[in-house]
Amino acid sequence: MTKIFSIANQKGGVGKTTTAVNLAAGLAKKGISTLLIDLDAQANATSALGIEKVEGRSLYKVLHGEAKAEDMIVNTSTENLDLIPSEVDLAAIESELAQSENYLSRLSSALQPIIDSKKYAVIIIDCPPALGMLSMNALRASDHLLVALQTEYLAMEGLGQILGVVDQLKQADATSKLTVGGILLTMYDVRTNLSRQVVEEVKTHFPELLLKTMIPRTIRLSECPSHGKTIFQYDAHSPGAVAYAALAKEFIARFNLK
């Protein structure tokens, strides 16, 4: 059975796309057939995988019911990892969806044929850095939310907001299956008191949600997207690669992925 994960945080620059790309690649390297969906008009996940942005190749027409999601899938240079790319036209969908019927379930409906095909064990959705219509559609379509949380000031405030959105969706009966699957701490710097304080705060308030793996702040992780490579392709022995390999392993165990 396909399990769908949204990686989200309304704050930009928290390592969300880095996590979406490298977690997907890490799962693929473990033999888990994975589809990554770039739902951000900035198309950073697309570029990070070395895929060229092509006009018309995004979920824009799909969400308008004018194309099929499965026709947008492209192969990547990582075995077992495919991508639905993004490009700038997706930016217009936010306002357009709000005026349409079933605006929260467009993505869920579009992905159903892919789920029915049983081709992928995991679908990972890289959400835009805002809790707008696209992110709401992603959450509505997902089984689990993974929150990428930067170990810096105001991190807990942003966490409270996104967890509140999940509660609102459930109270509005917009989703019955969505759970908060985990909180991933990113850009962790063991040398700073602030990083350690954020870790302790999350441990105190959300002990069952905090993932054991923490992603360190490293230059190699910052560099690899500009080369169109995953961290495993760019520097397989770096601390970032070790961390994302550990995260993939933890994910497989936590969510019983096969």
**pLDDT single digits (tens) 183-237:** 999 999 888 888 889 899 999 999 999 999 999 999 999 999 999 999 999 999 9
Instruction: Specify whether the CB–CB gap between 242 and 213 falls below 8 A.
Output: no
3-state helix, strand, coil in the chain (%, to 5): 45, 20, 35
Indicate the fold that domain 3-254 takes in CATH.
Rossmann fold (3.40.50)
Whole-prediction pTM: 0.96
Tokens of 89: 């036209």
Helices (H), ranges, 37-147: 44-48, 60-63, 93-98, 106-117, 133-141
Report, as ranges of residue numbers, the positions in the chain whose pLDDT lies below 70: none
Residues 6+ apart with CB under 8 A from 108: 137, 140, 141
Q: DSSP assignment, residue 132?
A: S
State residue 219's pLDDT score.
95
Tokens of 53: 């942005």
Domain boundaries, the chain: 3-254
Cα 16 to Cα 189: distance, rounded to the nearest angstrom: 17
